Structure 1
Amino acid sequence: MPYNVPMIPKQETRRMEESPTLLLVEDEPDVASFVQQGLEEESYSVSWVQEGQRALEHVQQAPVDLVLLDIRLPDRSGIEVCGRLRLHQPNLPIMMLTALDAVEDRVKGLRAGADDYLPKPFAFDELVARIEALLRRVDAPAQTETLRDGPLVVDPAAQVCTYEGKEVSLTPTEFDLLVYLMARRGQALSRDAIHRDVWGHDFERGTNLIDVYVNYVREKLGEAGCPSPVETAHGVGYRYTACTESAERHD
């Protein structure tokens, strides 16, 4: 089956149209055909490529609202493709498609910057729901109030996080998670609430998605010299406390 790769001038970043444009990166033709046909019936515009390199070229050449990215591709790992996409288009929603038992692949994909993952085999209705959730996050009115906690400053409008004046590099999902927790300082927030409000769909029991992302935020703040203000609320979920309180606990 030929690649469906529309060519447009590189300087054009987004085509204004009613149907969101999706890029499906999947090397199995049967799976790709099923997903593409189903999504097009849901009024999405779907382009399909089989290789990671073609995906990178496509995103440079055509406007894309969301990428569905398989991990196992014939020319390079989907995790590598995810990292390169995230480097050049930090706000592009990316959903990884993974084997059911590939826990390590899921973690690597999230660390590379994926916003969500969906294990194979998956229910088509769930795929659509997750796509809708990611696109709602992009279209939702942005919180513009700058959040400050001592030397930690988070500017949602500019999508910038700094500690003592130095930028902390966060993926879009890590940034959204920090903003969500920071804006609710002192509240014990359940995993259900975090998943619903940050990811936009119901929390999956048995998954450690939220724990993985909280650890990423903690690690990146720690690398910047900021004692993590995100603490575990035992039996509930997580709580954001002040940086000064976190520092005192570490002294």
Structure 2
Amino acid sequence: MRILLAEDDLKLGKLIVHMLKKQSHAADWVTDGREVADYADAGDYDLLILDWMLPGKDGVTICKELREAGYDKGILMLTARDALQDRVEGLDAGADDYLMKPFEFEELFARIRSLSRRVQMPLSESIIEIPPYTLNVNELTLYRSGEAVSLTVREFQLMETLMRRRGKVIPREALVSQIWGLDAEVTSNSLDALIKLLRKKLEPDPHIQIQNVRGVGYKLEVADVQKNPQ
């Protein structure tokens, strides 16, 4: 399962990520509430573990805004607040479940299992099609008009992320985390170099382009390939 953790306690956050990975979950971690929506939108996560008290934007507000925007993945709220009204507020904001701090990891894992069954989380699409391209996630292969395009692992990860969020701007930080991992020491130039390499392998093609949104990130722009009536 792909999990996004939003927790500003550095010691606790590091421990949760470590324990999630020991359970064979893929986990990314953000510490600022203002980053959560971008990561949730770009990362195709199955579950969001969301702390109530975050700098920049609190968990209840984040949860409410995500649900209003159509976010349909599982949300588990973490908080030290134990008043009934607080629990009601979190659930009414759109959280699927609620876990009090401090907690035992056995309970966290049990709630994750229960939540995955309750919300019936779908597996990510294994085939993504944007003609003339077809991306097969299981084969780690990109096809153009039926012919395989040679990509490195990171080029494939980049292409998959862009295709899943076609037409939407993905922040640079989200792309770096998705491809290299949240804790990787990667310079901004590394992402630009990877983008340049992938662009070369997609050219010449007027139908699909990786566009730079200055100061923000990148997006995959797909042209309308329908021909005008003669």
TM-score, scaled to structure 2: 0.50
Partner residue, 1:114:
95
Counterpart CA distance in 1 for 2:74 and 2:30 is 17
> Residue in 2 aligned with 1:128?
109
Change (3 A) 1:140 1:101: closer
Alpha-carbon shift at residue 100 of structure 1 (Å): 4.8
Alignment of 1:53-68 (within 5 A): 53-68=34-49
- In 2, are the aligned partners of 1:98 and 1:106 still within 8 Å (CA)? no
Within 1, Cα distance between the matches of 2:121 and 2:55?
A: 36
The answer to whether structure 1 residue 85 and structure 2 residue 37 are counterparts is no
CA-based RMSD of the aligned residues comes to 1.7
Q: 1:30 to 1:118 in 2, by over 3 A?
A: same
Q: 1:84 offset after TM fit, Å?
A: 1.0
Structure 2 counterpart of 1:40: 21
After TM superposition, the structure 1 = structure 2 runs for residues 164-175 of structure 1, keeping only pairs within 5 Å, are: none
SS at match of 1:68: strand
2:10 alignment partner in structure 1: 29
Give me the TM-score of the superposition, normalised by structure 1: 0.46
Q: Report the counterpart of residue 105 of structure 1 in structure 2.
A: 86
1:74-118 C-alpha deviation (Å, 9 max, x unpaired): 111110000011122342110100115343322211110111000
Give the match for residue 227 of structure 1: none
After TM superposition, give the deviation of residue 130 of structure 1 in Å.
0.3
Q: Give CA deviations for 1:23-72 in whole Å, capped at 9, x if unaligned.
A: 00000000101111001000000000011111111011110100000000
CA distance in 1, matches of 2:26, 2:85: 31
Residues 100, 122 of structure 1: alpha-carbon distance in 2 compared, 3 angstrom cutoff: farther
Q: In structure 2, what residue type is equivalent to 1:99?
A: A
Q: Secondary structure at the match of 1:64?
A: coil
Change (3 A) 1:140 1:113: closer
Q: Which amino acid aligns with 2:10?
A: P
In structure 2, how many angstroms separate the alpha carbons of the residues matched to 1:35 and 1:131?
13
2: CA distance between counterparts of 1:68 and 1:39?
11
Q: What stretches of structure 1 of length at least 5 have no aligned partner? A: 1-19, 142-251
- 8 Å contact from structure 1 (residues 22, 66) kept in 2: yes
Q: CA deviation at 1:140?
A: 7.6
Change in Cα spacing, 1:140 to 1:85, as seen in structure 2 (3 Å) is closer
Distance in 1 between the 2:2 and 2:16 partners? 14
1:190-211 deviation line (CA, Å, top 9, x unaligned): xxxxxxxxxxxxxxxxxxxxxx
Once the two structures are TM-superposed, the CA of residue 137 in structure 1 deviates from its matched residue by: 2.2
Tell me: CA distance 1:140–1:88, structure 2 relative to 1, closer, same or farther (3 Å): closer
Aligned to 1:209: none
Matching residue of 1:70 = 51
**1:73-222 equivalence runs, <5 A:** 73-139=54-120
Mapped partners of 1:31, 1:103: distance in 2:
24
Q: Take 2:107 and 2:41, find their aligned partners in 1: how far apart are those partners?
A: 29
- Whether the 8 Å contact between 1:100 and 1:121 is mirrored in structure 2 is no
Distance 1:124 1:87, change over 3 A: same
